[in-house]
Amino acid sequence: MPNPESEISKIPSSGFGPPSDNWQPGFSEIGTSLSEVTFIVLDLETTGASPLQGCAITEIGAVAVRGGQVLGEFSTFVNPRTPLPSYITNLTGITDEMLAGAPHISDVFTTFLDFISQFNDAKSLHLVAHNAPFDIGFLKAAARETANPWPKYEVIDTVRLARLVIEKSEILNYKLGTLSEFFETQTLPNHRALDDVKTTVEVLHRLIERLSGYEVFTVQDLKQFMKRLPERKFKP
């Protein structure tokens, strides 16, 4: 549940040069600076690949950050009411016994939405996830299951963003573990929701460093910049 932190980690400026294509940035004085945007970085663990296949959420993790400052954390197990496949237990370390006393998604989903909405005062809140279509797809399915409207927040996929600012010649792939190694993050991903979120926060900040080399300084600039790579849809 929310657990405010006081540590501040400022995002340094980048020394990267301008892009080679014809991308034209907006005026940085018009719009909302990226340092003023609240990012809710989230991650899920699940019983499988898709809610269409009957898969369900087993763990939710989220961290709210703005300007490099951690504003709050959310973390909970979720009882999927179905046995975990052995490969999921081997991957995540989560067992049926760990989930036995956890709340069902119907008992915790509204609390999760409330955690997000408390940071929406400035109306500049963005959700962030690594391979966001997967996580957002499961959350939209959970919203339908629990009869909750899914809030229409803007979503940033750090996979898409990484593909735009890190050349293929620089990195083997854009998996979270590879980006963690590339950026030498303090928190290592381990297929547990909150730890993977904390890794994604570090990756997001390092990607934002690189954005300054493309003269992307506002969230409006970022929205236009990311149109250079088509969004992959996930339909649960």
Please give the single-letter amino acid code of residue 180.
Answer: S
Instruction: Give pLDDT, residue 30.
Output: 73
Enumerate residues 6+ apart whose C-beta is below 8 A from 231: 133, 157, 160
- Domains of the chain, first to last: 34-228 (3.30.420.10)
Instruction: Give pLDDT, residue 122.
Output: 62
Considering only residues 91 and 19, tell me which one the structure prediction assigns the higher pLDDT: 91
53-80 confidence digits (pLDDT tens):
999 999 999 999 999 999 999 999 999 9
Residues of the chain above pLDDT 70, percent:
84
Instruction: Give pLDDT, residue 115.
Output: 98
What is this structure's pTM? 0.86
Which residues of the chain form beta strands (DSSP E)? 38-46, 57-66, 69-77, 126-129, 154-157
Query: What angle is formed at CA 212 by the lines to CA 41 and CA 185, rounded to 5 degrees?
Result: 45
The average confidence (pLDDT) of the chain is 88
Position 236 pLDDT exceeds 50 = no
**Among candidates 116, 98, 122, which has minimal Cα distance to 33?**
122
